[in-house]
Structure formats: C-alpha cells, structure tokens
Homo-oligomer: A and B are copies of this chain.
Amino acid sequence: MRTYLECVPCIIEQTIKTARDLTQDWEKKEILVQKVLETLSNISYNQSPPYLGREAHRVIRKILDNPDPYLKMKKEFNRVGKELFPSLQKRANHSKDRFADAVKLAIAGNIIDFGPQHHFELMRTIDKVLLAKAAIDHTGSLRDDIESASTILYLGDNAGETFFDKILIEKMPPKEIYYGVRGSPVINDATSEDAYWAELDKVTKIISNGSDAPGTILEDCSGEFKDIFARSDLVIAKGHGNYETLNEIKGKKFYFLLMVKCETIAKDVGCSVGDFVVKKIQNAVQP
C-alpha cells in the first residue's frame, strides 16, 4: 500500500508522542520533530507507510541516543501478555469453535498497544471481540488453507500480542510453522527476544526478518527470511504494518488479521474503524 497523505501527520503525531514520553528536554523534542519532518520531506509517498516509519524511527533512536526507546513499554506488554495467557487458553479451550475463537483472540491481542489498560478492561475488550462479528471474515478459508499447507509463515506485530498469537498457533495442526519478527527494535514491535519470552519457540521456529521497519519490507529482509517467505504455502500477517507492506505482493497467499485502527486502513481494506478483519488476499502474478 502506498502512503496516503493522511499517514504523514499520523507518523508525526507518533513522533511527538515518543518525544513527550521519552525526553523532558524541550530542545531535544523540537530537534526530534524537525529532523523527522526533514526526513519525511525527502521520501516518495509511493513507498509504504512503514517505509516512512522506518526512516522516522531511525531518526528518533539516533536523536534520543537510545537503540530501543520502547523497551520499557514492551516489557510491560510482555508481562501483561504472560499474565493473561492462562485465562486466554482457558477461553480458547472452552469454546464451541476453538479455531474461530482463537483467530478472534489473536486479533484482539492487537489492542494491547492502545495504551496502558487495566487487565479488567483488557479482558472486557476481549470479551467484546469474542462476541462481535468480523467485518470481513475469511476464517473458514483460512482453516482449510492451514489444513492443506506444509509450511506456514506467521508474521507477528507487537510485543505482548505474541501471547495471543500463541493461542492461535496452538490451535493449528502440527505443521512447519515459522513465527516472523522484526530484525531489531522499532516502536513496540516484537523482536526475537519478545517471541522467546512468549515461548513461541516451543510451537514454531522463530525467524527474525533482519529489518528495522515496522512492517515487512521484503527488499529489506534477510536472505534466510526471504527463503522462508518464498517457500511458505501461506502467510498469516498480523496488524497494520504487515498489511501496508504486503497487501500488493503478487503470487502469495496471505491472510491479514487486523484490528482496524484508522480511516486510511479502513478505506483501503473496505470496512470501518474499530472493525476486525480476517482478509484473504492472493494477487495474481502478471504474465
């Protein structure tokens, strides 16, 4: 997906939020915003939003002189995910349609970055999602495609959400499953460390994509990751960033599991803000 004009102020707002959260130094905040503006003024919006995000967050890390500004937040999300995990498992195991509810739980996990919430609130939101209907629902087809696949690549999104992904992966039949994560810290996105913390190595092979983009920019990924991507029968991709970087890739079968958080994505996907979505996309390879 290309960058829509509306994505630009959104990335700048993220920058400002980071500036506010991570430094008290007014001059540093101002330089941070100015440098991000300068950076975003030099990139073609034919690139995807995570491409712009990658550049912006490189600037942020450099100016804050901090290789992982969101580390504390990620630790908190990991802690919350770990604490919730047993009750999530219980829900998934006491369900009429365990697979469909596990898909919903995986998507519900995407709300973990909606700011600090009490467990009680988080659980209430999860309950709501379990009762709601997906705006676009290709869960049946996903189930069939998992059944017939040999190799599956599951692309994670945020730290802590990893535990919700594990719920879904545990409901899949035994296959060769790779759990893809970002190659190095960017925002609160899950890296290998977060995936191991959720013990995803017990149910998948954890694979770093080698990139610091908040999405999956294939040209940016390691050879090893690209090989696994190429030979996977199926890619399950979580969250906005993965959708924005992969939705136009040709010749691959994708299932995008999304909580729709902004108008731009809603328009692109064809639904409303607040919807959740299980959307299959398989673009034809042009001859």
A interface, CB within 8 angstroms of B = 5-6, 8-10, 12-13, 16, 19-20, 29-30, 33-35, 37-38, 40-42, 44-45
Contacts and interface: CB of A to CB of B under 8 A. Distances in A.
A29 B5 contact: yes
A16 B8 contact: yes
A41 B45 contact: no
A30 B2 CA distance: 12
A41 B44 contact: no
A64 to B, nearest CB: 15
A111 to B, nearest CB: 23
Number of chain copies forming the complex: 2
Contacts of A13: 9
A34 B29 contact: no
Q: Which of A9, A19, A20, A38 has the most B CB atoms < 10 Å from its CB?
A: A9
A232 to B, nearest CB: 34
A56 to B, nearest CB: 11
Contact of A37 (B6, B8, B16): B8
Contacts of A34: 40-42
Contacts of A35: 41
A9 B33 CA distance: 10
A16 B44 CA distance: 16
A33 to B, nearest CB: 6
Contacts of A38: 37-38, 41-42
Contact of A12 (B9, B19, B45): B9
Contact of A41 (B10, B20, B29, B41): B41
A37 B41 contact: yes
Given A5-B29, A5-B33, A38-B41, 17 more contacts: A5-B19, A5-B20, A5-B30, A6-B16, A8-B16, A8-B37, A9-B9, A9-B10, A9-B12, A9-B13, A12-B12, A30-B44, A33-B45, A34-B42, A37-B37, A37-B38, A37-B41
Complex A-B, nearest 6 residue pairs according to Cβ-Cβ distance, in ascending order = A37-B41, A9-B9, A38-B41, A5-B16, A9-B12, A37-B37
Contact of A8 (B12, B20, B44, B45): B12
Contacts of A33: 5, 8, 45
A228 to B, nearest CB: 35
